[in-house]
Amino acid sequence: MKSKITTEVHTHTIASSHAYSTVHEMITECARKGIELLAITDHGPALNNDGAHYWHFYNLKSIPRKVNGVYVIRGAEVNLLDFNAKVDLEDAILRKLDWVIASVHNPCLDAGTVEDHTNMYIKALENPLIDALGHSGTPDFSYDIDAVLETAKRLDKVIELNNHSYSTRPKSAENCKKIARRCAELGVWVSISTDSHSMYELGDTERVWEMAMEAGIKEEQIVNLTAERFLAYLCRRKGFDRAIFENTGF
């Protein structure tokens, strides 16, 4: 089954030390592969010595909004640090970003109870500066799927289905399917992402696309199916002017 995703909304550059391509390489590769939009979502600073410094996020304004025909979205994958959904970037910086994914990474948080994880994900979704939950299928951090997904639906937020989970978090596969099926039933927005850590992974959404289709996800609920839909979502929910994304300069 061929994936119809034409955007990349979860990617890492060399600003995260375990990723291997520059912004320029990522953009050039997107243009070559016909990917219309690239969100740069490097790891928040709490990920040991691996995440980007907070200046990285502050200064994303140095990159034009559109390069070589590719929309460049200023983003972050912030770390959830506690069960109150505290994250590792200040609100003042999050406000400067277009797109913020909140994820759990083991070095930043020890697992608690299902109730802890449920409350954490609900609080994260309630934070107006957070747009999406990243790779939430990790079984170590399982949660009450109905409670969290109903919150996402109510607040117009996004649940990510992540292709990288198949290689780095293989134990997540069953749980991801369960989450995807419930997203399909509730009509929650989902994003389908590669979580690319190098330019070579860009565009590789085949496996997660197939899983999403099997789970009954409809194309209408995939927030990043096309650049236009993704930008419309950001503009509608966050009040951005659509015209800013056409700026090829500053």
| Contacts to Zn ion by CB under 5 A | 77, 103, 195
Write down the residue that tokens 């299902």 correspond to.
114
Residue closer to Zn ion, measured from CB, 50 or 150: 50
Residue closer to Zn ion, measured from CB, 72 or 133: 133
The one-letter amino acid code at 224 reads N
User: What pairing do the DSSP bridges indicate for beta strands 37-40 and 70-79?
Assistant: parallel
- Determine the Cα–Cα distance for residues 70 and 91; give it in Å rounded to an integer: 27
Residue closer to Zn ion, measured from CB, 77 or 201: 77
